[in-house]
Amino acid sequence: MPEKNCIDIKENELLKIDKELLELLLQDKTTGRNIIWATDNYSKHGVQYAFEKPILIELVTSRNGSIIKPRTQKSKTEQQQRVRQKAEVFTPSWICNVQNNLVDEVWFGRKNVFDIEENRSWKTTKEKIIFPETENRNWKDYVCSTRLEITCGEAPYITSRYDTVTGQYIEVPERIGFLDRKLRVVNENTESREDWLKWACAAVQSSYGFEWQGDNVLIARENVLFTVAEHYHHKFNESLPAKDLVGFAKIIVWNIWQMDGLKFVVPNSCTEKEVIEQDLFETRIISKACEGCKKNNSLKHNGIYCKIKDWKKNEIVRFVDLINGGELYGNI
C-alpha cells in the first residue's frame, strides 16, 4: 500500500508486494506483449524508452520508481508538451462528479444519491443508499452495471483517489468515481470478507477505460487496483492480501487497455504494406496504405484491433465490434 495521502504509486513498491502485480499491470492482452510507451516524453532516458518500445519492469523501477509520475507531478513543460501532442487535458474531480451524478440520476430516477453538489465541490450523503423497488434496480444490479471512461488518462471518472488537476488526495468516503460508488454500495451491503470480495470483483469487472499513452494506462490500472485496496481497508481496517491484489489485477489488465480511440486498434499499428500484383506481362510490388485510415472506416484498418473481456459472457471480444452495435456497448 502507498503511504497515506500519497497519490503516486511507486512501481518499485509494487514489485516488493508481489512481482506478478507489476508484470500483470504492464501486460497488453491484445498483443500478448507489454503495453508500449506511445509517447516520446521518455525518450531522453534512452532508446528503450522510445515511442514504439514496450514498457518493461526494469525501466519503470529505475530511479527509485520515479520514472512514471501522475500528471500533477510532471513538469509544466512536459504537461504542455502532452497537451500539444495528444490534447491531454485532465478533468477536475468536481466536473467528474457532476457528470457521474447525471448518469446515476438516470439510473436511480432521482438526484443527489451519492452526494450534493456545492460550489465546485460536493458533500457526500451519509445515509445508506436506497435502491428503487423495480426490476433490475437493486444494489447488485448497480454494482454490475457497465460503465466506461473513454480516453481515461489516469482514470478520474473511474476512481477519484486524487484530483488529477490539483493533485489533492481524496479520502475514501469522499470519492466520486463510478467504481468508488460501486464499492461504497458493496461496503454498505456486505458483511463478510468473502461476500465483499465477490461483489468488489463484480464492480471491477463492469468498470472499463481505454487510453493511448502507456504511462497513463499504467497509472490508471494502479489507481483502480489501489482504490479497491483502500476501500477494503476502509471496510475491514486491514490490508488487502497480496494474492487478492493479484486477483484484481488480472481483471484490471483486461478492463483498462491501450487503444487508439479513433481507430480502435493498438496505437500506431496500422501500416503501409507491400502487395504483389501480377499479370501476363510483369510482376509489380506496390505499396498499399491502410484502407481504414485512408477511408476513415473503423472496420477496415490493417492494425491490431483491441480486445477486451466481456465478463458476463466470459468471452474475449473486439472492442470495435461493440461500437458497431454490440450488446456490451449498448449497456454502457
pLDDT at 331: 45
Q: Which residue has the cell 522510445?
A: 50
pLDDT at 329: 43
More confident residue, 323 or 205: 205
Sequence-distant (≥ 6) Cβ neighbours of residue 187 within 8 angstroms? 196, 231, 234, 235
- Is the residue at 304 inside a domain? no
- Is the residue at 54 inside a domain? yes
Residues 223 and 154: beta-carbon distance below 8 Å: yes
Question: Whole-angstrom Cα distance, residue 176 to residue 163?
Answer: 11
- Is the residue at 171 inside a domain? yes
Q: Tell me: the pLDDT tens digits for 247-266?
A: 999 999 999 999 999 999 99
Residues 74 and 56: beta-carbon distance below 8 Å: no
- Is the residue at 278 inside a domain? no
pLDDT at 277: 64
**140: pLDDT strictly greater than 80:** yes
- Mean pLDDT of all residues in 160-173: 93
DSSP 8-class letter at 55: P
Position 276 confidence tier, pLDDT thresholds 50, 70, 90: low
pLDDT at 8: 87
Question: Whole-angstrom Cα distance, residue 72 to residue 288?
Answer: 42
**163: pLDDT strictly greater than 70:** yes
Query: Number of folded domains in the chain?
Result: 1
Question: Whole-angstrom Cα distance, residue 105 to residue 112?
Answer: 8
- Is the residue at 108 inside a domain? yes
Domain housing 70: 1-258
- Is the residue at 83 inside a domain? yes
Q: Tell me: the pLDDT tens digits for 174-203?
A: 999 999 999 999 999 999 999 999 999 999
- Is the residue at 306 inside a domain? no
Question: Which segments of 174-213 does DSSP mark as H helices, in order?
Answer: 178-189, 193-205
Burial class (CB in 10 A: 0-12, 13-18, 19+), 315: exposed
pLDDT at 270: 94
- Is the residue at 294 inside a domain? no
**284: pLDDT strictly greater than 80:** no
pLDDT at 86: 66
284 strand-pairing partners: 277
Where are the extended beta strands (E) located within the chain? 27-28, 33-34, 115-117, 122-124, 147-149, 207-211, 256-258, 273-278, 283-288, 307-310, 315-318
pLDDT at 328: 45
**91: pLDDT strictly greater than 60:** yes
36 closest CA partner among 225, 254, 257, 252: 257
Average pLDDT, the chain: 90
Residues 307 and 318: beta-carbon distance below 8 Å: yes
**307: pLDDT strictly greater than 80:** yes
pLDDT at 130: 95
Q: Tell me: the pLDDT tens digits for 19-53?
A: 999 999 999 999 999 999 999 989 999 999 999 99
